[in-house]
Amino acid sequence: MNITILGSGRWASYIAWYLHSIHHQVLLWGRKDSKRFQALKDQRSNEYLALDSSIHLTDSLQEALDYSDTIIIAIASQGLRTLAKEMNSVLTQKKTFVLAMKGLEKSTGKRLSMIMEEEIPQPKKLAVWVGPTQVEDALQGTPNCMIIASDHMDVARELVQSFSSSTLRLYVGLDVIGSEIGAALKNVIGIIAGMLDGLHLSSLKGALMARGTLEVSRLVETLGGKKETIYGLSHLGDYEATLFSKFSHNRAFGEAFIRHETYPYLAEGYDTTEAVYHLAKSYQVSMPIIEAAYAVLFQKQDPYQMLQQLLIRESKEEFA
């Protein structure tokens, strides 16, 4: 089948490479003014992989949308609304959109599927593709599992069947709210894990995983999702790849932050921290780990002191 991928970063280029490897016809779109896309177009490669000559690259959004009925979006989450507006102005027929990205809109706290619904009101199908993976590992053929969730089971099942392979097992998910929130917030937990690494407190990652998962499940349930989703691939299942991997941008950003070093790559969890902090406040959901992350990143509080405050909170039953 023909598949369009919007984006030219690490994940977008990997999706193009992967789907081509399992015999799909692939077009990859990037912005004309993007140095990263122009380098990919000129050299047919980036620091991670090389793209086969049969993978078509274009900076024409109209051409990209006309190429396929299945549009995978893999860009920085804060740019989705702008792109969605642009797509809505040139769309001529119903499409299936797959959001292969993780985050919440910083200014509103809205999930990415909500942005798509707002900016592209015409008939369409929506799915989210999330879960644990690191491009560097996947390119070596390391087997992995991920999830594709949609409000329509037939859409999720069709995509799972089309995108699965011997190295990537995909599962069908029906809880879009839980999948999106879980995927977005695991990046925040990943930043905190990196802070623990920077403070030589890596042994606390186990506690962070347990308590963080519980916090996120409370938010998901409040928003109308299923709290059990957070214990699946979209969140807890992604912890190893995000909290421990040397390739994790969010973990590496957290560690660099503690060391007062500049981190050159995108860490989606940074903007998501601000978004979920205000979201939790508006819904009156207790999320002390998120509050600590926000205090460190945006209020310049001492990270070691904030972690101490988390650890010496009043003792109570674990699941109270």
pLDDT tens digits, residue range 64-108?
A: 999 999 999 999 999 999 999 999 999 989 999 999 999 999 999
Domain 2-174 sits in CATH at: 3.40.50.720
Domain 2-174 and domain 177-311, same fold? Reply is no
How many angstroms separate the CA atoms of 150 and 157, rounded?
Answer: 9
Which tokens sit at 79? 């740019």
Contact 303, 258 (CB under 8 A): yes
Q: 3-state SS of 165-221? A: CCCEEEEEECCHHHHHHHHHHHHHHHHHHHHHHHCCCHHHHHHHHHHHHHHHHHHHH
Tens-place pLDDT, residues 122-163: 999 999 999 998 999 999 999 999 999 999 999 999 999 999
Instruction: Give me the residues paired with residue 96 across strands.
Output: 70, 125
Residue 127 is predicted with a pLDDT of 98
Q: What is the C-alpha separation between 91 and 271, in angstroms, rounded?
A: 29
Map out the domains of the chain as residue ranges: 2-174, 177-311
How many helices (H) does the chain have, and how many strands (E)?
Answer: 14, 8
Q: What is the pLDDT of residue 92?
A: 87
pLDDT for residue 14 is more than 60:
yes
Q: What is the mean pLDDT of residues 182-204?
A: 95
CATH of domain 177-311: 1.10.1040.10
Q: Report the sign of the C-alpha dihedral through residues 181, 183, 184, 189, in that order.
A: positive
What CA–CA distance (Å, rounded) separates 244 from 79? 27
Instruction: Identify the pLDDT of residue 313.
Output: 57
- Average pLDDT value for the chain: 95
Q: Does 315 have pLDDT greater than 70?
A: no
Average pLDDT for 236-264: 96
Helices (H), 45-173: 61-67, 80-90, 112-119, 135-138, 153-163
Instruction: Name the pLDDT band for 164 (thresholds 50, 70, 90).
Output: very high
Residue 186 annotated among the catalytic residues of the structure: yes
- Tell me the pLDDT tens digit for each residue of 15-69: 999 999 999 999 999 999 999 999 999 999 999 999 999 999 999 999 999 999 9
The whole-number pLDDT of residue 318 equals 62
pLDDT at 305: 87
Under the phi-then-psi rule, with left for phi > 0, alpha for psi from -120 to 50, and beta for the rest, what region is 189? alpha
Query: pTM here?
Result: 0.94
Catalytic residue among 186, 205, 227, 316: 186
Residue 159 contacts residue 148 (beta carbons within 8 Å) = yes
Tokens 């990652």, residue located: 205
Return the pLDDT at 310. Answer: 77
